[in-house]
């Protein structure tokens, strides 16, 4: 099983339980993976995180509203048990194959290329507690910006999109290569929004996933690796 650069970081988990997200943080519902049939179980609410992570999210939202008083953070996904991680990896591989006219059930070079590309965005459902997927720790969150009415803002690509379009600075490069002024302005608007999200999250202590504009964490192995910390604070929950 392919591991991440941060998988060797030691974990010193104090056992803090998952807590439900407070009302101040907008949830994007219905939850997209639950709608697909992901196996959360009867008590597996995904909108839960460690308390320290929640407090830092609230701080990030305060920082956001200093420059954009009508905007807020919108939570797409939070805690994700291992069974859901496995379900969603397979779903992403199959759906990406179908989008590209590839048989998801037939072994082929094209399918293997899809598996590799999906692997840049979806962590393997590693059962080893020493190298858990970030979301299984309750320390990682997928989120976006929302308007005052609660509508998610256009960030240039959907959360979970597979490809270079999901990389945090994709539209900065695209704007520099674009000769259409209107399209260039759209690219710069998307880049500005992604940069604003990253700025408030990083000011609140979060680390961003290198391939995903929407994914941030505090206290897991990715965070420790990104920030040069000697150990992660949180391991897998459930």
**Could you tell me which residues are beta bridge partners of residue 217?**
140, 207
- Whether residue 96 contacts residue 117, with contact meaning beta carbons closer than 8 Å, is answered with yes
Q: Which residues contact 126 (CB under 8 A, 6 or more apart)?
A: 1, 3, 7, 132, 133
Task: Please state, in angstroms and rounded to a whole number, the distance separating the CA atoms of residues 32 and 120.
Answer: 20
- Active-site residue among 90, 110, 202, 212? 212
**Could you tell me which residues are beta bridge partners of residue 143?**
75
Strands 140-146 and 207-208: unpaired
- Whether residue 24 contacts residue 147, with contact meaning beta carbons closer than 8 Å, is answered with no
Question: Is 212 an active-site residue?
Answer: yes
- Whether residue 47 contacts residue 128, with contact meaning beta carbons closer than 8 Å, is answered with no
- Whether residue 214 contacts residue 140, with contact meaning beta carbons closer than 8 Å, is answered with no
Q: Which residues contact 210 (CB under 8 A, 6 or more apart)?
A: 167, 168
Structure tokens given for 115: 């598996």
**Could you tell me which residues are beta bridge partners of residue 50?**
18
Residues annotated as catalytic (active site), given as ranges: 212
């Amino acid at each position: 099983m392919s591991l991440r650069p941060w998988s060797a970081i030691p974990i010193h988990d104090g056992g803090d339980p998952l807590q439900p997200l407070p009302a101040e943080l907008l949830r994007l519902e219905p939850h997209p993976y639950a709608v697909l049939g992901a196996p959360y179980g009867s008590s597996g609410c995904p909108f839960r995180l460690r308390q320290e992570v929640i407090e830092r999210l609230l701080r990030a939202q305060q920082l956001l509203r200093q420059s954009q008083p009508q905007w807020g953070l919108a939570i797409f996904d939070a805690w994700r048990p291992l069974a859901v991680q496995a379900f969603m990896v397979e779903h992403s591989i199959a759906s990406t194959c179908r989008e590209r006219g590839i048989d998801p059930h037939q072994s082929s070079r094209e399918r293997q290329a899809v598996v590799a590309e999906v692997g840049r965005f979806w962590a393997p459902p590693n059962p080893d507690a020493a190298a858990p997927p970030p979301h299984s720790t309750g320390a990682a969150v997928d989120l976006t910006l929302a308007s005052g009415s609660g509508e998610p803002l256009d960030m240039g690509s959907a959360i979970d999109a597979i490809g270079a379009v999901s990389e945090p600075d994709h539209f900065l490069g695209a704007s520099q290569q674009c000769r259409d002024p209107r399209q260039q302005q759209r690219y710069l608007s998307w880049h500005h929004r992604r940069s604003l999200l990253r700025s408030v999250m990083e000011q609140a202590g979060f680390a961003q996933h290198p391939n995903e504009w929407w994914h941030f964490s505090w206290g897991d192995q990715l965070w420790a690796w990104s920030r040069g910390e000697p150990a992660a604070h949180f391991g897998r929950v459930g």
